[in-house]
Chain A
Amino acid sequence: TQLLEQSPQFLSIQEGENLTVYCNSSSVFSSLQWYRQEPGEGPVLLVTVVTGGEVKKLKRLTFQFGDARKDSSLHITAAQTGDTGLYLCAGRGPSGTYKYIFGTGTRLKVLA
């Protein structure tokens, strides 16, 4: 069974601080996605990384896929209150499968 562990589980920081969220597994994924979920809503896709070592930037958010495609990180620079939410990583199995395994989630609260 593939598992995706996220750390930390909870994070409360002041506006302007930097943070990193980790997503780790012992399994190899063909691609990995990061989602953000607001209260009362479904998750919304932020980014997809496919190649080992790939780095993608989305404004103040930087996503990295591990070289072995078993782990990923999300770094937020100068966090804002609007970054508050639940962050989920999701790994896709070998090519040809349609199933995604979601991580346990990191709940981020950015204080003004």
Chain B
Amino acid sequence: AQTVTQSQPEMSVQEAETVTLSCTYDTSENNYYLFWYKQPPSRQMILVIRQEAYKQQNATENRFSVNFQKAAKSFSLKISDSQLGDTAMYFCAFIPSRENTDKLIFGTGTRLQVFP
């Protein structure tokens, strides 16, 4: 079965500090796509960052970067210079590229609280 595991239900970090959210997944596919989504209290799902499994270089988007370890099936998210607006639920998700229907498989999420 293809699954996504986020082992940290809650995390907290002080403003301006760095925090890393962990994510592991299980798949027998060789090609797939990985995502991190942010869900603030407004409930909107916002794409934070996206990684293609065949690309070795880790994706970065401003203060957000990933550590993609394909052999270990690990896809952690690092948030640098944390801001109060980063407070949200963060979901890791992936799509096996062989799938024709592009079903995103989500983890259960990590609730991140940024303190002033």
Co-assembled chains A and B:
no
Binding site for A on B (CB under 8 A): none
Binding site for B on A (CB under 8 A): none
